[in-house]
Amino acid sequence: MRSDLRHRLVRLGPFVGLLLVVGFFAIASGAPERYLSANNLRVVLAQTVIVAIGAIGMTLVIVGGGIDLAVGSTIALTGVLCALAVRDGWAPGLAVLLAVLTGGLVGLVSALAITRLRVVPFIATLGMLGVARGTAKWLASQTTVNVPPTWISELAVTFPPVPWMLFAPGVWITLVLAVLMAFVLRRTVFGRRVFALGSNEAAARACGIAIDRLKLAIYGTAGLFVGLAGVMQMSRLRQGDPTVAAGTELDVIAAVVIGGGSLNGGEGSILGSMVGALVMAFLRNGSQQMGWPTYVQEILIGVIIVVAVAVDRWRHAQGGGE
Amino acid sequence: MTLALRLSAIVHRFGATVALDRASLEVRPGEVHALLGENGAGKSTLLGILGGLLVPESGTMEVGGTPYAPRSPRDARDRGIALIHQELSLFPHLTVAENVLMGTEPSRRGLWDHAEAGRLTQAVLAEFGHPEIDPDATVGRLPIGARQVVEICRAIAARARVVLMDEPTSSLPRGDVERLFATIGRLSAAGVAVVYISHFLEETRAVASAFTVLRDGRTVGGGPLSDVANDQLIGLMVGRTVSELFHRRPGGPSGETALEVADLAAPGLHEASFTLRRGEVLGVFGLMGSGRTEMVRALFGLARPARGRVSVGGRERPLLAGPAARLGDGVGYLSEDRKGEGLALPLSVADNVTVTRLRSCSRHGLIDPALQRRQSAERAEELQVRMRDPGQAVRTLSGGNQQKVAFARLVHQDADILLLDEPTRGIDVGSKAQIYEAVARAAAAGKGVLMVSSYLPELLGVCDRLAVMSRGRLSPARPVAEWTPEKALEAAIGA
């Protein structure tokens, strides 16, 4: 009973962090009613969409004991593809589908390198980071791709196109996908097998799980999310930029890790990752409101990542876990 | 009668090493079949092939009279073959139910059926006599004995026709060993064939009815177990008899005090006091969880003692010293966890042997590789490590040879006091004999040896005096002649 309670507290960790960050800036800004206003919340959430969608896929990858470093450049690649398709007169829906499927394909290729060539995920996706970035620049002829306005441009805006939506459509899409993936991870056979794979790959193999196929499914699915994040990126910029989102993979990984994900696999939750993404977004937003220079934000986020993981380790040690 | 299993002329290689050289095995339904042999004889490889983890180079296999050629663990499972591994292969982050049913999970349209999983798991746990384990408990939080129970329940849940067990009792407390034997009995009565690997011959006799002995990848003998005596079996395994195993040294210890421990307490250890003299082998017998490992770790500075006094060579030393200070005092430590902390597996034999005394082969802080190789080769030869080259990664050696490398490090360190925690755990008979020899040599050279073990025959064979650890308390040490196996076990169980 007591350990059950403690277990719950462990899960609450990221929330406590989020409350601390929000509370700190609400007070420090001297104008809590402005910092906590609906408008500022819209700003923060719209800024979180790209990292949050990426983090849904990354949670799957990290829980399964892998890593994906190609997220940032895949976002650029799929954003450029989406822009090119819209510019060439495709229906916006098809352009979005193209971007999402391309993201999935990139994930599949990484997974093939991991399973067929026996390259560790870090290296396979490091290679893909270069390949995707280069391909994006090639397709975009090393320049930005301007697009005529369509509904895609409304997805990740700060203020929704219709007031009753309250938040940008991208925010709602993120929420629905997060709930869906949380369900998949917790309740489906596929989800439990992902945990099993990350917890002990040799044992998963010995249990008769088709490891290679599972990895293809994990990286492929995660890639679909990265593709959607690329669409959101294009929506925010209203153009396809092949140089955008450099280093976004690190924000995405940080979100998962702040949310309790372990790079050793077997641990992590969608809810935690979403909270992790919000922690970083509120931190950035708060620093801006305070008029702090960006280097302060960078230092702060760096410290937060290490502190979050250290606190997590400490709680595990207290909880008597391994 | 149709055989449950029939393997003939199985050949398997790892690189240049021939692991199996036309090995064969025949098991009848409902038979508990002991697979015996030294480490490196090919037992685990053979089970790996049966379990679909390895694909043999050549040879034929039949299950229930029909050809069998698994290419993955999944194929093996589909043919009713379950493998319980030597090393725990659990998912620490998942629940007991998920661990037991992973791969055969009850589901409806891809959704994990939580209620059904709990029911199935509860039934299997009850069958194995552990209804108290909660199917929803996270496995990483269970004690190690309970984890092994989960592992075994996985095979029971698979309803296999052939169950392969690779040292299933290595981390099981006594009560569970008996439960396991009862379960094996039930499986066998239900017509399931069990292939059983263990290094404990006594245990093997208690459970198995037939045996096959492998040596150097070949089947060298087999038949009903009741027809052969233990020393015949060992003779088949190594070509030596059991009386040659232990190296009794004439005369008792007479040296000065090497290590004096008074009133030592640490987490998991209530009280331990003893004196270890030079030239003496002092045994500590205790069951798992008795505090024996905690005592050695506290002595070597790997755990924090709560109180007590420690003197080395007559001089009192700080109680809270770390391993570096203990090494400086001339104390050497052999961990019970060879792979986890005993050795740096990816590093070479030379690095592993010399690491605690690199000064011996370096000048001005630079290591002389030729000297390091020469020194480590000498030590390795002394321990009869079977290897190609001192530059070879320790990982590529068999378990017994790895352990000899770990011991060679203590020899190289030239420690005055040797703390040995389960020095022969999970290694083959031949390597055991060589470790015993090395212990005897160290004592003869005037070292003080503290040997902790849960294997009574070796303690009674090797030690001068024996103390028993029970529930965190160490009994006074008495000469081994005053102990019998029954008395020692009684003291350990704390009856």
pLDDT > 80? residue B175 = no
Lowest-pLDDT choice from A7-11, B395-399, B404-408: A7-11
Q: Phi, psi at residue B334, to the nearest 5°?
A: -115, 115
* DSSP letter string, B341-383: II--TTSBHHHHHHGGGGGGGEETTEE-HHHHHHHHHHHHHHT
* A267 vs B contacts (CB less than 8 Å): 93
Per-residue pLDDT of A207-262, as tens digits, reads: 888 999 999 999 999 999 999 999 999 999 999 999 999 989 999 999 999 998 98
Share of chain B above pLDDT 70, in %: 92
Domain ranges of chain B: 5-240, 257-493
Interface of A with B in 302-321 (CB under 8 A): 320-321
More confident residue, B122 or B202: B122
Mean pLDDT across B379-397: 89
CA-based nearest residue to B22, from B217, B308, B234: B217
Backbone angles phi, psi at B209, to 5 degrees: -115, -25
Residues contacting residue B399 through CB under 8 Å, at least 6 positions apart: B39, B40, B338, B426, B427, B428, B431
Query: What is the pLDDT averaged over residues A279-285?
Result: 90
Higher pLDDT, B495 or A308: A308
Mutate to test the interface with B, among A8, A207, A209, A267 (most CBs of B within 10 A): A207
- Domain spanning B257-493, CATH class: alpha beta
Instruction: Decide if pLDDT at A170 tops 50.
Output: yes
CB-based contact B105 A195, cutoff 8 Å: no
How is residue B347 written in tokens?
């590093």
Closest residue in B to A193 (Cα–Cα): B102
Per-residue model confidence as pLDDT tens digits over B447-481: 999 999 988 888 888 999 999 998 889 999 999 88
Average pLDDT over residues B52-61: 90
Question: How far is residue A188's CA from residue B408's CA, in Å, rounded to a whole number?
Answer: 51
- What H or E segment, with its residue span, contains residue A58? helix A38-63
Q: Given an 8 Å threshold on Cβ–Cβ distance, is A322 in contact with B89?
A: no
| Position A1 confidence tier, pLDDT thresholds 50, 70, 90 | very low
Residue A142 has pLDDT above 80, yes or no: yes
Give the per-residue pLDDT at A322: 37
Region for residue B59 given its phi and psi (left: phi exceeds 0; alpha: psi -120 to 50; beta: otherwise): left
pLDDT mean across residues, chain A: 90
Q: What is the pLDDT of residue A237?
A: 92
Q: What angle do CA B105, B111, B117 make, to 5 degrees?
A: 40
Extract the tokens encoding B164: 């392969």
Nearest-5° Cα angle at B494, B252 to B146: 110
Task: For residues B104-129, give the mean pLDDT.
Answer: 88
Distance between B225 CA and the closest CA of chain A, angstroms:
30
Give yes or no for residue A102 having a pLDDT over 90. yes
Kindly determine whether residue A191 and residue B112, on different chains, have CB atoms separated by under 8 Å: yes
Residues near A31 by beta carbon (within 8 Å), at least 6 away in sequence: none
Q: Looking at A5-19, A67-81, B450-464, which range is the least confident one?
A: A5-19
Kindly report the nearest CA distance between residue B89 and chain A, in angstroms.
Answer: 5
**DSSP structural state of residue A163:** G
Alpha carbon distance, N-terminus to C-terminus of chain B: 47
ipTM metric: 0.83
> Two tokens at B197?
């690997």
Q: Which residues in chain B touch residue A187, judged by CB atoms under 8 angstroms apart?
A: 111-112, 114
- Nearest chain A alpha carbon to B107: A189
Q: Rounded mean pLDDT of A139-157? A: 90
**Cβ separation of B72 and A210 shorter than 8 Å?**
yes
Q: Is B459 exposed, middle or buried (0-12, 13-18, 19+ CB in 10 A)?
A: buried
Of the listed ranges A2-6, B72-76, B87-91, B335-339, the least confidently predicted one is A2-6
Residue A224: both structure tokens together: 């679909």
pLDDT in tens, B8-37: 999 998 765 678 888 999 999 999 999 988
Which pTM does this prediction carry?
A: 0.77
Q: Do B141 and A3 touch (CB under 8 A)?
A: yes
Give which of A312, A246, A244, A247 is closest to A276, Cα–Cα: A312
User: Hey, which bits of B267-306 come out as E strands?
Assistant: 269-277, 281-286
Nearest beta carbon to residue B141 from set A189, A196, A321: A321
Q: Tell me what the pLDDT averaged over chain B comes to.
A: 86
Q: Hey, what are B328's tokens?
A: 């400086």
Average pLDDT over residues A5-9: 61
Q: Check if the beta carbon of residue B10 is closer than 8 Å to that of residue B61.
A: yes
pLDDT, position A11: 66
Does the pLDDT value for residue A284 go beyond 80? yes
Give CA–CA dist B147/B172, Å, rounded.
Answer: 9
Taken in order A292, A294, A299, A300, is the CA torsion positive or negative? positive
Pairing of β B5-14 and β B58-63: antiparallel
pLDDT of residue A321: 41
Could you tell me if A4 lies within 8 Å of chain B, comparing CB atoms? no
> Which of A187, A190, A207 minimises the CB distance to B103?
A207
pLDDT of residue A199 exceeding 60: yes
Residues of chain B neighbouring A206 (CB-CB closer than 8 A): 51, 53, 73, 83, 85, 89
**Is the distance from CB of B99 to CB of B47 less than 8 angstroms?**
no
Domain B5-240, second-level architecture: 3-Layer(aba) Sandwich (3.40)
Mutate to test the interface with A, among B93, B114, B153, B337 (most CBs of A within 10 A): B93
Cβ-contact B66, B241 below 8 angstroms: no
Which residues sit opposite B26 in a β-bridge? B6
Q: For residues B303 and B288, which has the higher predicted lDDT (pLDDT)?
A: B303
Predicted pLDDT at B486 = 76
* Cβ separation B74–A320 shorter than 8 A: no
Which residues 6+ apart lie within 8 Å of B92 measured at CB?
Answer: A199, A200, A266, A322, B138, B139, B140
Phi-psi region of B124 (alpha: psi -120 to 50; beta: other; left: phi over 0): alpha
Angstroms from A17 CA to nearest CA on chain B: 24
Look up residue A131 and give its amino acid. Answer: V
Kindly determine whether residue B91 and residue A206, on different chains, have CB atoms separated by under 8 Å.
no
pLDDT of A189: 94
Cα gap A147→A137, rounded to integer Å: 17
> What residues of B are in the A interface, CB distance below 8 Å?
51, 53, 72-74, 76-77, 83, 85, 89-94, 98, 102-105, 107, 110-112, 114, 138, 140-141, 154
Residue B259 has pLDDT above 90, yes or no: yes
- Average the pLDDT over B424-436 and give the result: 84
The residue type of B194 is: V
Q: What is the mean pLDDT of residues A254-277?
A: 92
- Across the interface, of A206, A267, A321, the residue whose CB is closest to B73 is A206
SS3 call for B479: strand
Calculate Rg over the CA atoms of chain B: 24
**Going by C-beta distance under 8 Å and a sequence separation of 6 or more, which residues neighbour residue B158?**
B77, B82, B104
Q: Tokens in use for B124? A: 């299997």
pLDDT at residue A72 greater than cutoff 90: yes
Say what the pLDDT of residue B242 is: 47
Tell me if B102 and A193 make a contact (CB, 8 A cut-off): yes
- CA triple A118-A122-A123, angle to 5 deg: 60
Min Cα separation B73/chain A (Å): 5
Segment (H or E) for B311: strand B307-312
Stated length of chain A: 322
From CA A274, how far away is CA A269, in angstroms rounded? 9
For the cut 60, the answer to whether the pLDDT of residue B284 exceeds it is: yes
3-state secondary structure of B165: strand
Quote the CA–CA distance of B93 and A275 in Å, as a whole number. Answer: 21
Asked if A117 is an interface residue toward chain B (Cβ–Cβ < 8 A), one would say no
Helix (H/G/I), strand (E/B), else coil: B461: helix
- Following DSSP, what letter does each residue of A235-275 receive, concatenated? HHHTEE-TTTTTTHHHHHHHHHHHTT--TTSS---HHHHHH
pLDDT at position A198: 95
Do B183 and B207 touch, CB atoms closer than 8 A? no
- The mean pLDDT of B63-79, rounded to a whole number, is 88
| Mean pLDDT for the stretch of residues A26-36 | 84
Does B257-493 match B5-240 at the fold level? yes
What distances in angstroms separate CA B400 from CA B384, B433, B454, B458, one per listed residue?
11, 10, 18, 16
Q: Could you tell me what percentage of chain A is helix, strand and coil, using 3-state DSSP and rounding each to the nearest 5?
A: 75, 0, 25
Residue of B nearest to A208 (CA): B74
* CA A102 – CA B61 distance, rounded (Å): 46
How many other C-beta atoms are found inside a 10 Å radius of the C-beta of residue A238? 16
